[in-house]
Chain A
Amino acid sequence: MEFSREKRLKARLAGDRRGDLYPHSLQFYLQPPTENISLAEFENFAIDRLKLLKVVENLGVSYVKGSDEYKSRLEREIRKLKFPFRALVEDDYDARRKDHISHFILRLAYCQSEDLRRWFIQQEMDLFRYRFNELNGDLVEKFLKYVNLSYGAISKEVKEKLAVQLLNSTPGLSGAKVEELEFYKVPLQDAMDLFRVRRVYLLNAFAYVPQTDIVAIVLNNFRTKLSKALALTARSLPAVQSDERLQPLLNHLSHSYVGPDYTIQKNIGKISLEHIDALSVKSFPLCMRQLHKALRDNHHLRHGGRMQYGLFLKGIGLTLEQALQFWKSEFIKGKVDADKFDKGYAYSIRHNYGKEGKRTDYTPFSCMKIILSNPPSPGDYHGCPFRHSDPELLKQKLQSYKIPPTGITQILELVKGMHYQLACQKYFQLTQDVDDIGFSLNHPNQYFAESQKLLSGGREVKKEPSEPESSQQKLSSQKSTNSCSIPISSNTEADTELEGLDAYFTED
């Protein structure tokens, strides 16, 4: 009888343990995962979470956080990437496990500098806030208990006694609301952000917090814990980085681009050199338009510019022969003679096309890479104009390109908020004359492809009738110091290494 009881016990334990591990759809990530996983799962989980956090960032700037539009789009992305959204653990176990593991992997990549930490914490907090607000009814209290923030709700009698004080200390509440909402008794230390601005009632070292504000307290707690954890992680990083399998992956994650790499030129040979000038005005993003003009004006570009522009041209379909012809014709107008060109510059162009040396077919730079790596010095024309140009000069340039003043103002606002890609998206809208860009801009070649699509009538230009103008794009002038402030990589050697790795991270 002992025997069968043991068996039953074991069976029950095996089933229950999964539930014990992830009892809720969200968590504070206090315990790191301890299982073994394959490198493939390691990468996939990390990339998916990074995609999710980038969507969180993007949506947070384009829509009011917590609005219906914001929530529905975020939910869509969460489902698509298979992250947790269901209340019951049985349906959600794999997603929760993925959530858990991917968070810890990204910690390794994002603990390394103040800027990276700030960005990571900001997005994780926004994600957490969304998921917390989606919890309904008693799940809130259950979760609070689970994370040891079990603040007790005050009784009806106490609430009645304190009704006037509660009403007067909590802005935005009516008498009816005070009656309706739960109020939690929170120790002073946990409600710091609320009492410092006198938005809550204090009595005898407790703050009486309405359930609508409890999320602020939980978030405060979440942020404090995550911040400490990242600092700790940073200290153990040397040990992790010595693992050769992980080092390049982690390095790349904090700089990665996760989209098509434009190595496969579908339009190869379809561009003719006579059209390049016209194309640069019509379909090139500002960075490439700037490089092209500089090349035409100076008959020369330095290395950074040659790489960025050269690979872009490859991406839009220029063949190696066309490229050689194009660059040579410009350079010999300058100070370079034909011989010197063939000996030096031609070699590196062939190198870019994978015909020399390592024979790696280099991929055109993504926006993230252009924004983050290799900032331009005086005499350079590469980089991202929205990131690297002085705003006054940028304004003048846009004026010279006949961008309407309201458009310029909007672009400059986005630049001030460090939303460089969004500024470029705005530039796309204004130059292509569409109301809604219709895609999220991540890559100069994507810009080109989309512009070409529009011009050839391959895309619906008008906005969708169901979405009113006002809710579409919220150009927030909110000070978002976190969203795009990711540090510049100063390691140019790693860059060339990364070229090969780009392929590693692309989507199928």
Chain B
Amino acid sequence: MAGFEPGSLPDLLPLYYRRLFPYGPYGRWLSYGGVVKNYFQRREFSFTLRDDIYVRYQSFNSPQELEKEMQKMNPYKIDVGAVYSHRPSQRNTVHMGAFQAQEKELVFDIDMTDYDDVRRCCSSAEICSKCWTLMTIAIRVIDRALVEDFGVKHRLWVYSGRRGVHCWVCDDSVRKWSCAMRTAAVEYLTLVKGGSETVKKVNLTDPIHPFISHSLSLVEPYFEDYALVGQDILGSSESWEKVVALVPEYILRLLLREFPKKHDSVQRWELLKKKMEKCKPSHAESEIMLQYCFPRLDINVSRGVNHLLKSPFSVHPKTGRVSVPIDLRKLDQFDPLEEDGEKENETEPEPKRRTRDYRKTSLAPYVRVFEQFVEEMDKSRKGELLKKSDLQGDF
């Protein structure tokens, strides 16, 4: 997708917002069935307009009003914030202190930049097919924990448009979580700790908590292809020295001696594993896998109830790529670079009918994932209502 011109945004965005943005399911999502009064109306949106003009505390009386505004303003970026105690656009009419953020989805932001110390192919905002595996692993690990440990039923994974992924957890109870609960959840999910000053970022002690052992079993199948072949982490002395710094002292010296005699990363890893077998209390082998592959979350994104995060289906102004939902059933096949940018969509022929254009474009499969997600929530809500009315004896 090299060759996207940010300068073309003013021309492409109006087309995108007129023909492609899936307003229908989007509005249904954020209305959450209309169960809670004025839930959509009290939601904060923020728009980033051209020339970096940033407008916060936008709120709308209906999804249709949101649609009109988006088509009028053609924002470069749209963020979704919290549901407040009052309509954000009217916050100035409320007593100071009374205007409070009340609910929001639990969100996660996993950014490839946070892995720069352990990936060799790219750095900073660049991504390639080799290091994208890190995102695949991250999604697998976090998603399993969300579903199996936290009992989450409704979550949406989204490609951020540039260098990472976001997760939106939408269960009713989770949207009400306090700041403390969100922080606790991130802490539970964190294994890689320490900044540039820390060499060994993962430290495991017995007993190994099921969260860790489950996560390891998800990382392991990817490790050889990703780390040993793709990243070639034991390919040269410069890189294997970093790995070997994570094993116990006496093994370290032995490996430094033996590694040059081996031919490639795969062989060297085998050697390391064999030597580690004899140091049973140490978990260095697992620690290495985790330090090189385990998800790294940005706690600041998840912690605040009022934190704003880029909306699904928002365009990334620097890449022209749309923030699309990821189909978990086809996770391993997802390729962010294949993902259609604005440019392609714009060249689709203008159909006769304006409505539901997105179904005919390359955006369609992503919209389908999103629609399924919204439908699941609708179904689940109906089920809850039925259960409640059964209990109350309503007929």
Contacts and interface: CB of A to CB of B under 8 A. Distances in A.
Interface of A: 165, 167-169, 171, 188-189, 192-193, 195-198, 201-206
A198 B145 CA distance: 12
Interface string B71-88: 000000000000000000
Given A197-B187, A204-B148, A192 B209 contact: no
B149 A168 contact: no
Contacts of A201: 210
A76 to B, nearest CB: 38
A167 B209 CA distance: 9
Contact of B211 (A167, A202, A205): A202
Given A195-B188, A196-B183, A205 B209 contact: no
Contacts of B180: 192
Nearest to B214: A165
A171 B205 CA distance: 10
A204 B188 contact: no
B207 A205 contact: no
Given A192-B180, A195-B188, A196-B183, A169 B209 contact: yes
Given A167-B207, A168-B210, A169-B210, A205 B151 contact: yes
B213 A188 contact: no
Interface in B158-185: 177, 180-181, 183-185
A205 B181 contact: no
A432 B260 CA distance: 70
B54 interface: no
A167 B208 CA distance: 9
Contacts of A202: 149-150, 188, 211
Given A192-B180, A192-B181, A192-B184, A198 B209 contact: yes
Interface of B: 148-152, 177, 180-181, 183-185, 187-188, 207-213
Contacts of A167: 207
B180 to A, nearest CB: 7
A450 to B, nearest CB: 47
16 contacts: A165-B210, A168-B210, A169-B209, A169-B210, A192-B181, A195-B188, A196-B187, A197-B187, A198-B209, A202-B150, A202-B188, A202-B211, A203-B149, A204-B148, A205-B150, A206-B151
B207 A198 contact: no
A230 B151 CA distance: 34
A189 to B, nearest CB: 6
Given A169-B209, A204-B148, A206-B151, 20 more contacts: A165-B210, A168-B207, A168-B210, A168-B213, A169-B210, A188-B151, A189-B181, A192-B181, A193-B184, A195-B184, A195-B188, A196-B184, A196-B185, A196-B187, A196-B188, A198-B188, A201-B210, A202-B150, A202-B188, A203-B148
Contacts of B148: 203-204
A68 to B, nearest CB: 29
Contacts of A205: 150-152
A288 to B, nearest CB: 47
Contacts of A188: 150-151
Contacts of B210: 165, 168-169, 201
A290 to B, nearest CB: 45
Nearest to B210: A165
A485 B70 CA distance: 55
Q: Which of A165, A188, A203 is packed against the most chain B CB atoms within 10 Å?
A: A188
Nearest to B184: A196
A272 to B, nearest CB: 63
The 6 closest A-B pairs by CB, nearest first: A205-B151, A196-B184, A202-B149, A204-B151, A168-B207, A196-B187
A192 to B, nearest CB: 5
Contacts of A171: 207
Contacts of A165: 210
A62 to B, nearest CB: 32
Contacts of B207: 167-169, 171
A195 B180 CA distance: 12
Nearest to B150: A205
Q: Which of B149, B177, B213 is packed against the most chain A CB atoms within 10 Å?
A: B149
Q: Which of B148, B183, B184 is packed against the most chain A CB atoms within 10 Å?
A: B184
A169 B185 CA distance: 16
A343 B49 CA distance: 79
Nearest to A206: B151
Nearest to B171: A205
B148 to A, nearest CB: 7
Nearest to A189: B181
A195 to B, nearest CB: 5
A223 to B, nearest CB: 12
Contacts of A193: 184
Nearest to A195: B188
A168 B212 CA distance: 10
Q: Which of B148, B151, B208, B212 is packed against the most chain A CB atoms within 10 Å?
A: B151
Q: Which of B183, B185, B207, B212 is packed against the most chain A CB atoms within 10 Å?
A: B207
B190 to A, nearest CB: 10
A458 B148 CA distance: 70
A114 B369 CA distance: 50
Nearest to A207: B149
A169 to B, nearest CB: 5
A4 to B, nearest CB: 41
Nearest to A204: B151
B29 to A, nearest CB: 22
Contacts of B184: 192-193, 195-196
A478 to B, nearest CB: 22
A204 B152 CA distance: 8
A407 to B, nearest CB: 38
A165 B180 CA distance: 26
A197 B185 CA distance: 10
Contacts of B185: 196
Contacts of B183: 196
A312 B65 CA distance: 77
Contacts of A197: 187
A202 B188 CA distance: 10
Nearest to B176: A189
Given A192-B180, A192-B181, A192-B184, A198 B150 contact: no
B143 to A, nearest CB: 15
Contacts of B213: 168
A464 B177 CA distance: 55
A164 to B, nearest CB: 8
Contacts of B187: 196-197
A442 B82 CA distance: 52
Nearest to A199: B209
A146 to B, nearest CB: 25
Contacts of B212: 198
Contacts of A192: 180-181, 184
Contact of A168 (B177, B181, B209): B209
A198 B184 CA distance: 10
A199 to B, nearest CB: 8
A168 to B, nearest CB: 4
Contacts of B150: 188, 202, 205
Nearest to A205: B151
Contacts of A196: 183-185, 187-188
Nearest to B213: A168
Nearest to A166: B210
A201 B149 CA distance: 8
Contacts of B188: 195-196, 198, 202
Contacts of A168: 207-210, 213
A188 B149 CA distance: 9
A192 B185 CA distance: 8
A165 B184 CA distance: 20
Contacts of B177: 189
Nearest to A188: B150
A171 B148 CA distance: 21
